[in-house]
Structure 1
């Protein structure tokens, strides 16, 4: 019997990669899309003939119940949210509606319509905010520092509470920053690889950045979505950190990307205070001991491999577009 999966946030980076993974494994895949959505459908255009698009909205309880009742999914992956942190400050209530209360509506719909479905909730390292320890583990206290992190913390704890109260198979994956060629250029990793590609092709001559010493725990989105799937294949539900387990500075990222195309980064990079973030006294870095030991997952791509594949992808896109 063919397994069925429902993905919210299908049009995002993670949703598109997860859909590809599940289709390759023989799943029947349903993708929840808002009827009035103006989201970029480019990421899933190559999958339209293989995915069943269903209309629903995390703001509307009845639409979620209808979709779950009709599709009867074995697995549900909630990857939908308002996920751009700066926007959460200008639209805090909307962020809470989608990222926090949307999960409550989804959990309640599962409880009522398909209580035997396995549920994955995309949690985030933003729940730790300014943590009191580094690296962070699944037991590190939550101290979110922005509306997005607060909303994700609510969703995380609601998922755990529904698991205990109603005996649902519900998991949270606390994902750290994960990148891919499908990432938006507003995020620093893709901004850098895309601009390096432009400079190499003579389309730009400068890259403006903030604090070059800022460090991040970056991994590849394809590796991250494999961890999400693997979590739902276990006998018992549990929560795990999904990360690379190491940090790299923006300076390392810049140097690696420019070296790959044979250029000296110092000839092109300028520091702009406008891009600085507040001080980060404690580093956000995920301890992946639990997920490695319990379910055997670890990243398959190194930092250098990730940088190079993204530069290659951006170069290819620019050339295809007539650069």
Structure 2
């Protein structure tokens, strides 16, 4: 019994350290990675708390401190993920009218080595999105997706074999498209404007920055700088705006929250669920990496995590209704003192300015 108690004391101390680590503003991957598993850490902390209550309910001061630490960690992580549960108010209103212009987008990180392209093509056939955004697509994937061009005649193609290829297939006309590498060579983003069937125009920014990890980018500096730079661009947009892609950051992280504050964009998942898109194979290791953010001009018609396609990511589908009159009453995250300074700091560290991001408004 003493061995079991000691084990949970050690686990609680480790959990407390990992919980405190992201308070450090260091951009190293081994610090920033602990932004991701908030749900898992909340669940484990709750398990530690319940077990410790059973093992040492009447222990001395040291035991009580351990129990309080477990409870505090569970509550702290739960507060981060609470906005992405149905216990929280919806940030984006549901569309209740059927006569509004709509925009349906499917975003899919296909996993470059995955060769089950038939699954993605079947989902496109089933859901008929206006725009398909694919990530990690190389020349093999481009050849498989060429069949879409009968219906999706407007395309942007950047096949690469470095896991950062990107393609956009649109049945809607594109204006002012540009493929650019904002912060790092070989890491493209796509920026363009589409014309809806109603004649309204919408700007899209499609992103796939590198994640902070020991195998990809040692720091989150470039990722954070690109997200904030695109956020500034979206804030100045004259057209309704959508930002989508595998951002390699979770919805509740400090950086994504800063991006939402700076941009004024909304997240339709808030108040509806996490819609975890990664990892498709391991249910316990899942968090939301694939995103669709949009300006207040839109309300929500549909939001789905689609079935697996052989990738380590699930595709995500969002259908937005263009309704500025109702949408203007929606509230984004409020900018707090220090946010603008932090945003400038992140862009400076990455060597990028918001004017580097193509506005797609010419």
For the superposition of Structure 1 and Structure 2, which TM-score range results when normalised by the shorter chain?
A: 0.3 to 0.5
Structure with the larger RCO, 1 or 2 (CA within 8 Å, 6+ apart): 2
The TM-score with structure 2 as length reference comes to 0.31
- TM-score w.r.t. the length of structure 1 is 0.34
- Per residue, is there more helix in 1 or in 2? 1
Larger-Rg structure: 2
